[in-house]
Amino acid sequence: MQLYELVLNDGHAVSPFVWRVRMALAHKGLPYDSVPIGYGDKDKLAFSGQDRVPVLVDGDDVVSDSWRIACYLEDAYPDRPSLFGGAGGRASGLFFNRWCDTQQLGNLFLLCTPGTFDLTPEADQAYFRESRFEWSGMTIEQMREDPPKKIAALHGALEPVRQTLQEQAWLGGDQPAFPDHCLFGGFMWARTTSDFRLLDAEDPVEQWRQRMLDLFDGMARKAPAVQQD
Ligand SMILES: N[C@@H](CCC(=O)N[C@@H](CS)C(=O)NCC(=O)O)C(=O)O
């Protein structure tokens, strides 16, 4: 298998969507070769019929979009540890996936985009700046203003997750499942790009994040990052 993934300066794999898939592949115990690409390498993704990472190539199968890749892995490798724990888990997993896309990543966008820009090779910085301005109407400099206010908004959005992790170790219950990998992807975006602390040490979400960093022999903890804790 090959995983096309976004890799910026100093080997920082910043994409929350790629991290979801990296964790899902480790969860299933499936080895793969990484194909690192930058923002300026979209032509290398043309074979997939779209221009975003992650893209997974498995023999003749080409799958893009992190949710669709998770579903593909679950269906193609049913004998490996399950990502969803059955049809009900997949159905509610889709809801949580969309919650992460809109609520978690929505709140992380203004926080993590400046650090992502700082790690973007110079040749791609103009594209990055312009595309993010088109999406948000904000310059990178404007996004850098008042991180504490943005961290407080994220903290509020995470309350249902916090209350869940007060009752159980993982979003998947007594073991990690794809919803854990989804949420963790966003925190890996922050860890790989930005030096601010998002969570207090006693927050159940932080304790869960530490457990996630330890999974699969500390795979995520060992990845090049700005934050080391
Ligand atoms: N819904 C897609 C989103 C994929 C996506 O937006 N990927 C970003 C990386 S974080 C990308 O390829 N960005 C390229 C760009 O901004 O030009 C998924 O879940 O995989």
- What's the gap in Å between 34 CA and the centre of ligand 1? 16
Q: Is 13 in the pocket of ligand 1 (CB under 6 A)?
A: no
Q: Is 120 in the pocket of ligand 1 (CB under 6 A)?
A: no
Ligand 1 atom showing the smallest separation from residue 127 Cα:
17
pLDDT at position 65, please?
98
How many Cα atoms within 13 Å fall on the side-chain side of residue 31?
Answer: 0
Counting beta carbons within 10 angstroms of the beta carbon of residue 104, is it exposed (0 to 12), middle (13 to 18) or buried (19 or more)? buried
pLDDT at position 142, please?
97
Q: Is 155 in the pocket of ligand 1 (CB under 6 A)?
A: no
Q: Is 44 in the pocket of ligand 1 (CB under 6 A)?
A: no
Give the chain's mean pLDDT: 97
CATH tag for 2-76 (out of 3.30.1330.30, 3.40.30.10, 3.40.50.720, 3.40.718.10): 3.40.30.10
Hey, where are the domains in the chain?
Answer: 2-76, 87-222
Q: pLDDT digit string (tens) for 145-191? A: 999 999 999 999 999 999 999 999 999 999 999 999 999 999 999 99
pLDDT at position 229, please?
86
- DSSP-derived 3-state class of residue 2: strand
- What's the gap in Å between 40 CA and the centre of ligand 1? 13
pLDDT at position 96, please?
98
Q: Spell out, as residue ranges, where the chain has pLDDT lower than 70.
A: none
CA distances from 142 to 129, 130, 133, 135 (A): 12, 13, 10, 14
Of 107, 119, 97, which Cα lies nearest the Cα of 192? 119
pLDDT at position 228, please?
87
Class of domain 87-222: mainly alpha
Of 54, 62, 1, which Cα lies nearest the Cα of 28? 1
Q: Is 127 in the pocket of ligand 1 (CB under 6 A)?
A: no
